[in-house]
Structure 1
Amino acid sequence: MDEIKRNNVEYARIKKLSEFDLDYGNLQNEFQGLVELAAHIAGTRISLINLIDSHSQWTVSSYCHKLFEMDREDSICQYTIQSESPMEIHRLDKDARFMDKPYVKDDGFKYYLGIPLMVETGESIGALCVIDHQDKNISEEKKKLLRLVADEIVKRLESKMKLDSLQDQLDRAIVQRNQMAHDVRGPVGGILGLALSAENESLEHSEFDLYMGMIKSSASKLLELTDDILERRKEQLKENYFTLSEFKKHLEDLYALPALNKKIDFGVVFNKEKNHHSFPRRKLLPISGNIIANAIKFTAPKGKIAVNLDIMDTEGNVSLLIEVKDNGRGIRKEKLQEFMGKSVVSERGTNNEEGYGMGLQLVNEMVRSMKGSLNIQSEEGKGTVVKIKIPVNRT
């Protein structure tokens, strides 16, 4: 496969992973039963579900292992996803690709079996793998069972993506319903107020009293209904929306450790005065994650990465601002033009990390699909500032 075709295949793969819009830190419990089942089928001590993006391997669910993130070029599963077939290695300590890795040295891992997680459209977004400190002899029948477990993982991920899409549609309907609730609440409150006033007057006809009582009762029930609509809207916000502080926490949970491993000062700040705003979380983690991962890659040890989150309100147009600033090596002007164009380029990071050249191109595409804007200012040797502005609904 030539380089252009290989790059196109890889870009399609990481784009497909981004479409799942996963929060890698919140999937452990969802797949716990399946990784445990995989380990029992294989008779291994460890089982992992690994998803692989442009820069990192994310262990989103694991059995008897606590690894969460590692550089992609250090992983074993990076090779598994290059084929449709399982990859089995009986002696990692005798394989030139892995024998010097920290997880293999001394009394480290010896056996590996990985099964690619291939989605309906044909891309492998990661792998289910079983690992042990001793060599194993897993039968073909058990490998078929592990393939079924991997298929179930993919089905759950695809179902989750479809549900998220339906949730987006539901959210839009809820916004309309929420507006209706506010619109109805005003006149209904007026009816109730009128009924209460009339109740305090001296009325001659008992029928009129009964009629007014019915008005009051009906108005009270309508108010209860609108309050219930608004409360349910608040619950939806908790699950599918972020505030600035919640967004900050997710970014810190995902990227503080990779930055620390490279001895980079990483911090996220937000405008506390705008923390009452909530906004859809859709696509925000893959967008911001790719930018931050790029910054980590191209910032030298003891460097600094600062992320700023804010809400901009200009004449009633509300937008989320994501700013990522680093003092890394910067991007040459011609390279930046390539990043923002259609070509896919690759460079190695400051610690010689392998580059896949897809992150900025993918971010640019996602931001445009949300009718947002992406601005990159960079000076070679002095660092890079990436500003992303995404319109959001007022909530």
Structure 2
Amino acid sequence: MVSPKFPDNEIQRLKAVKSYNILDSLPEEDYDNITELIATICDVPIALIAILDTERNYFKSHYGIPFNESPRNISFCGHTILEEEILIINDARKDNRFTGNPLLTEQNAVFYAGVPLKNSNGFALGTICVFDHKPRELNESQIRALKSLGKQVINLLELRRKNEKLKKTKAELQERNKRLGAFASHVSHDLKSPLANITSLTNLLKDDKDSNLSEESITYLEYIEESTNVLKNYIDGILIYYKSDRLVKSKKEDFNLDNIYEDIEHILISKNDKLIYSNVLIKNVNRAALTQILLNLVDNALKYNDKDERIVTISYQLLEDYHKFSVKDNGIGIPEAEQDKIFEIFKTVKNDYGKSSTGIGLSTVKNLVDKLNGEISVTSEIGKGSTFCFTVAK
């Protein structure tokens, strides 16, 4: 018996094998379908997809035998990976390489045909092969089938490796987002308390009639108060943005839109504002995410509005595959050149109204709408107002 030699690139070949994370993996139907098919085409009792490890052949799929590995030093496949295209042994009893080989003497492996499974870098990961207990030959059609199915095994291995990488990347991103969310929550908590203190002290100084503050000093205090509010809004916006993924996972439910509108009125609408809407029963919708979207849009509609009476109108339309909403205001409007940018995070639009923006609110809205499999758009006219339209998939 002659044990197969190791390829000259054995170290690199083994590194390539391990990169597929295929050794000792669970059975998979796609591979089993291939071995059953090639056994049928070649009319043989045994077909294998073998991956060659350091000292063993691991059978990713084994048709016709009960075991899933064998020693590499007695294997036929060890010889096959040294070949360019295919190794055919019509009668192993007449081949000196297999004299006394246990596969021949104990398993009666008389006929063998195998194709090396070479990846795009030329490394032979293993083989696809067939055995029979009697001498025989393969015709040209069977040989072509064996080679073609070998290519399909490589395609499966490559796809499997890509999926493994995607799963790993996804897990890393989820963990990173989790850490970022925790960081945002921690920073928010730590910063909001001193900001609230600054606001309180500023108001105390402004209201202190005995302080004899000059008009210039009061103006400075108002600047401090405004800057503090901007920073608070910025922190709140970041926190909501990072919580948006959790909102999307909330349970869908049936509810009256009136319930959301009443919440919006309670939180945002003052006596000089008017919120116009109609009550509709809506079914199977993520209420938490929808509420956050409408709160952000109505808040923007009121914030950037210079009219004595600020009017916001919310409309709803049931489409075949979507719920469609529009939020219309009579505010200052958005310049046409800026309308494509407003949904990008930290992008702000300059205006003469004096209201600053964090550039987070509309990005949060876009993020939520996208994850609800919808779309959002805006139409606007300077001085007359804006209309935001968005859809949510049913």
> Which has the bigger relative contact order, CA under 8 A and spacing at least 6?
1
State TM-score, norm by structure 2: 0.45
State TM-score, norm by structure 1: 0.45
Q: Which has the larger radius of gyration?
A: 2
